Amino acid sequence: MGRGVTGLILKAMRADDYVFTVLGAEAVSEHFRRIRFDGGDFLQNNPWFPTMWVRLWVPKSGAATTDEDEGALVQRGYTIVAPQGSQFSIEFALHDGPAPRWALDAEPGDRIAATMMGADLTVPEDPAPSEYVLVGDPASIPAINSILDTAQSPCRVYLEYQHDAERQLPVHGEAVTWVPRENRGATLVSTVLDGGIGSDAFLFVAAETTATREITKAAKRDFGLPKDRIKSQAYWLQRG
C-alpha cells in the first residue's frame, strides 16, 4: 500500500527522499524520547536552520521498517535538532500513535524513510526583532529550543501542557510561562494576547490548530504584526 495519496503529491512536487539510520536512543522524560540518527547526505543537501523539520514515513503498525510492502505508511513531521556532520537527533513526544510506538521500539541499526520538502525560517533583519514570542506545547519544544539556541534578541515562551510532568521537559530559556490546556486552548490564546506582542517582535506559533490560527490572526489585527514577522504552523487538531 505504501505512502498513499500524500506520497504521490510529494513525489509530484519533487520532494527529496532519504533513509535515516538509528544510532541510539534515550529517554528525555516520561513523555519524551530522543533518537540519534545518521542521515547520510541529508544534511549536506539540506543545510540546517532553526525549526528545520522533515517528514518521517512510519508504518501504521509502528514497526521499525522502511519496506514499502509491509502495509500502509503514514507521514509525521519532526524537528531536526543537534546536527553534527551527518548526524542529528529527533525528539518524539510520546502519546498514542504510530510514530511514538516506532520511537519506543527503535534500536540501533533500524532504518526509517524520510522526505524533505522545501522549508525555511526567515527572520527580518531590518529592523531585527525586538524580541521573540514563541508559543507551543510539548510537541513543538524541539522547534522552540532551536530558536532559543540561536536567537540574538530576548525571548518569551508560552507552553501549553496537559500533564504536570510535561513541565519538567527541558526548555532552553528562562522566560517560560506554562499554561494548562483548558477550554480547548482558549486559555493559551488569552494568556499570550494578554502578554502583548510588539509590532517589531517575531512571533512563532506551533500549537493546536484553532489556537494557532487565533493567535496568528490577533497578532496581525490587534498588534499590527506584519506577515513577515510571523511563522505559524498547526501541529495538531483537536477533534470532537
* pLDDT tens-digit profile, the chain (240 residues): 455 545 444 454 455 899 999 999 999 888 889 999 999 999 999 999 999 999 999 988 755 554 444 568 888 999 999 999 999 999 998 888 899 999 999 999 999 999 998 667 889 888 899 999 999 999 999 999 999 999 999 999 999 999 898 898 999 999 999 999 998 899 999 999 999 999 999 999 999 999 999 999 999 999 999 999 999 988 777 766
Place of cell 519538567: 168
Instruction: Tell me how far apart the alpha carbons of residues 221 and 142 are, in angstroms, rounded to a whole number.
Output: 29
Ordered DSSP codes for 201-212: SEEEEESBHHHH
Residues 112 and 136 in one domain: no
CATH number where 93 lies: 2.40.30.10
**Residue 62: what pLDDT?**
57
Residues 40 and 103 in one domain: yes
Structural domain count of the chain = 2
User: Is the full-model pTM beyond 0.95?
Assistant: no
- The strand ranges marked E within 162-223 are 176-180, 202-206
100, 107, 205 from 229: Cα distances, Å = 32, 40, 11
**Residue 5: what pLDDT?**
45
Residues 143 and 100 in one domain: no
Residues 38 and 64 in one domain: yes
Longest dimension (CA), the chain: 52
Q: Are 50 and 149 in contact (CB under 8 A)?
A: yes
Q: Which residue segment(s) compose the domain that 153 sits in?
A: 132-232
CATH number where 164 lies: 3.40.50.80
99, 115, 116, 141, 200 from 78: Cα distances, Å = 10, 11, 11, 11, 29
Residues 142 and 94 in one domain: no
